[in-house]
A = this chain, B = another copy of it.
Amino acid sequence: MNGKSTTTRTKLERGRSALGPALELVHTGRAPTRAVLTSELGVTRATAGAVAAELEALGLIRVDSSPGSAAGSQGRPSHRLAVRDSGPVALAAQVHADGFRAALVGLGGRIVATAPGCVAVMADPAQVLGEVVEAGAELLRDSGLRCVGAGLAVPSAVAEPEGTALNPMHLAWPAGAPVREIFSARVRAAGISGPAFTGNDVNLAALAEHRHGAGRGAQHLLCVATGHRGVGGALVLDGRLHSGSSGLALEVGHLTVNPEGRPCHCGGRGCLDVETDPLAFLTAAHREPGPEESLLKQSGDLLRTEYGDPCVRAAAEELIDRLGLGLAGLVNILNPDRIILGGLHRDLLEADPERLRAVVADRSLWGRSGSVPILSCSLDHNSLVGAAELAWQPVLDDPLAALA
């Protein structure tokens, strides 16, 4: 903070400084050829060539020098760049209300293998994480691929820097469970190489969508999504996740969207959480909610198959209006250039996109900031891919150091 600090700072790394940015460009699909890589990096062709060769030597990318592989305009065709199929992978894990999922994810967000599963006693985080890591370790053994690290997505805010799950509502976990510590320990115990990371599932979904999905190219990406219960938010600024000073940013579930609404456990009334989640929708549509772990599917199916029913339609419009109010509030604070919706919010958007956009535009303060594009999530398993992004990040930052 103040005055003399003896911390030895980020020593300006020697070694190709353009290596990380180059890998990130290939990883996110923004550098399909070496020529594009040259202009995007702002270096000479000589340097870009050397960088690409080095990434290929590291086994991360593939340079396709076969002639005729690139069509197009005049001039000599550029060699194509792509992530290597049998390159290293990250171990991604996700825990949700009704089980877990493990996967191996390569560069470019490519899912190489997945393994879903359930556990008997969901109330014990150590057991759940033990099983998901074991499933992941088995995938790794079967694949024989190198592992750069592991990432875990949990449906809860994750406090920084401790890595504790503050509100694992959908899980039967105790609040404050040290998920990062448990996950790291299990990963190490399973002999999986590389560091281990943990994050909130909506945050990680936003990160994945930004790099590989509907959020590509956005500078200020806002993501809002429901699970079976409750609402989560995330913000990606200039390609990096913004999770606040202690990981609690964008906990948007308790924005007030209906001053006369139903009371919320937070002490307020009409919070986004209780006004726009699947349970709220089913209640508004006068349907009997099924078991907790199927609320999301039940709501989505209802929206898609029975939108003609006046009761369903009225419920949808009520939720769209509430959601729009919440989004408008966020737009006035964050001024994003793109919004991505997931879960039931995605279904609501697709049921009546014009209505939602109109509400947001109407309640935003100044025209253009309210006409921000609102899109649906576009990736399968985006939280899982996002968890893998966490593990890939050190490699993207400095491939040489991370793979040494």
Contact A335:B7 (CB < 8 A) given known A12-B18, A43-B12 = no
Name the residue in A217, A256, A260, A332 with the highest tally of chain B Cβ atoms < 10 Å from its Cβ.
Answer: A332
Contact between A365 and B10 (Cβ–Cβ < 8 Å)?
A: no
Q: Quick one: closest B residue to A364, CB to CB?
A: B248
Chain A, range 16-50, C-beta contacts under 8 Å to B: 17-18, 32-33, 35-36, 39-43
Q: Quick one: closest B residue to A266, CB to CB?
A: B365
Contact between B42 and A12 (Cβ–Cβ < 8 Å)?
A: yes
Chain A, range 244-263, C-beta contacts under 8 Å to B: 244-252, 254-256, 259-260
Chain A, range 211-255, C-beta contacts under 8 Å to B: 216-217, 219-220, 233, 237, 242-252, 254-255
Number of copies of chain A assembled together: 2
CA distance A336 to B333 in the complex (A): 14
Contact between A245 and B336 (Cβ–Cβ < 8 Å)?
A: yes
Q: Is A141 an interface residue (CB 8 A)?
A: no
Contact between B366 and A245 (Cβ–Cβ < 8 Å)?
A: no
Contact between B369 and A250 (Cβ–Cβ < 8 Å)?
A: no
Contact of A248 among B249, B254, B335 (CB under 8 A): B335
Name the residue in A12, A250, A337, A366 with the highest tally of chain B Cβ atoms < 10 Å from its Cβ.
Answer: A366
Chain A, range 152-207, C-beta contacts under 8 Å to B: 157, 159, 166-167
Binding site for B on A (CB under 8 A): 1-12, 17-18, 32-33, 35-36, 39-43, 157, 159, 166-167, 216-217, 219-220, 233, 237, 242-252, 254-256, 259-260, 266-267, 329-330, 332-337, 363, 365-366, 368-369, 372
| Complex A-B: 12 CB contacts under 8 Å | A4-B32, A4-B36, A167-B365, A167-B366, A243-B335, A244-B334, A249-B333, A249-B335, A250-B335, A251-B333, A251-B335, A333-B333
A157-B366, A333-B334 known, 17 other contacts, Cβ within 8 Å: A2-B216, A4-B33, A7-B39, A9-B40, A9-B41, A10-B42, A167-B366, A219-B245, A237-B242, A245-B335, A248-B332, A251-B332, A254-B365, A255-B329, A255-B333, A256-B259, A333-B333
